[in-house]
Structure 1
Amino acid sequence: MSNKLHTRNLIFAALLAAFMAIIGPLSIPLPGGVPLSLLTFGLFLSAYLLGWRLGTLSVLIYLLLGLVGLPIFSGFTAGAGRLFGPTGGYLIGYIPAALIAGKLCAKHRKFLPAVLSMLAGSVVCLAIGTFWYMGVTHTALIPALIVCVVPFIPGDIAKMAGAAAVGRILSPRLTAYLQKHLDEDQKAED
């Protein structure tokens, strides 16, 4: 029974990684080289639905798929050059963002606390990404913040709100699905 549950959890992590792979390449390039994308919506939805372990795993799967060459990063790009280039810090920052948001969302399932939990993860991601960008491009802090953070604040808040709203709708359905199959597995074993 626990192996089946474990397998189902890994499938959900893979499905959310696939969702991120679908929405990640869809982006709008902005001046400064940091694109606007829906990827953070997928990241925070994954953290909300799966928690910190599986949510972080789904982000790691996504990053590894992009690293090995699948064109799933913004603008249908891929590879180590993209992951370790000027905007790679944001991609790397998704790992602690998923961990933090997933851990906090597990404790705070209501809408506003969930959004604030995601905001905590986003702050860490933006900090890592901005400092990475500064190091690679040799840009000072204020210009980097103007290029890398300020334009994204309204959209990121909207994506967090969307992830919390969708997560609150999907989470009970996911729980009911898992419980139904656990009950069926238990009956089959008896």
Structure 2
Amino acid sequence: MIRRTRILAYSGTFIALIAAGSWISIPLPPVPLTLQTLFVLLAGIVMKRYGVIPVGLYVLLGAANLPMFHNGTAGLGVLLGPTGGYLIGFIPAALIVGLAYEHESIQWRVGGLILATTVIYLFGVAWLAYSASLALPQAVLLGVAPFVIGEVVKVAAAYSIGKRLA
């Protein structure tokens, strides 16, 4: 019973944090740099494999027209737009981090954070290229290159915060 209660409480907290992180952004076209990914990674760190629950619910709530995405946007149109792949990529990313954090090894944990971030960008770039009719190199240039430094900082921050929380 306590485990279910904890999962429920953490889920509500992480849905709120990911939504709040979507408002903290640097507007870079076509994909803004936000703090959503930091909270997606932290959901996996704190909740382990169950971190996929709040992340999946976050995407589902946004798809159901609750203003959850960047700057309060919502709906299937956002998921079908150029940023949709990144949002969908949050779901497997949270699971990857969660599974990695079920191991005590620093290598597993750091590797999980890096792999999860890579998965977000793989989903994002693939969908950006398709939805915006871009060549793959152009999608990488627009959808990855401007964000590499920010993502390195967020991965380092997630790891550092995770050492205190996990």
Taking structure 1 as the reference length, what is the TM-score of the superposition?
0.82
Q: Does 1:65 align with 2:58?
A: no
Match of 2:91 in 1: 95
Q: Rg: which structure is higher?
A: 1
How large is the Cα RMSD of the aligned pairs? Answer: 1.5
SS where residue 23 of structure 2 aligns?
coil
1:40-59 matched pairs, under 5 angstroms: 40-52=37-49, 54-59=50-55
CA–CA separation in structure 1 for the residues paired with 2:104 and 2:90: 20
**What displacement does 1:5 show?**
2.2
Unaligned ranges ≥5, structure 1? 172-190
Match of 1:165 in 2: 160
Is the alpha carbon distance of 1:105 and 1:9 closer, same or farther for their aligned partners in structure 2, counting shifts above 3 Å? Answer: same
SS where residue 96 of structure 1 aligns?
helix
CA contact (8 A) 1:25 1:37 kept: yes
Which amino acid in the other structure matches residue 22 of structure 2? G
1:104-115 matched pairs, under 5 angstroms: 104-108=100-104, 110=106, 113-115=108-110
1:1-80 matched pairs, under 5 angstroms: 3-31=1-29, 33-52=30-49, 54-80=50-76
Structure 1 stretches of 4+ with a deviation exceeding 6 A read none
Question: Among the aligned pairs, what percent are the same residue?
Answer: 37
CA–CA separation in structure 1 for the residues paired with 2:17 and 2:27: 21
Query: For this pair of structures, how many residues does the alignment match?
Result: 166
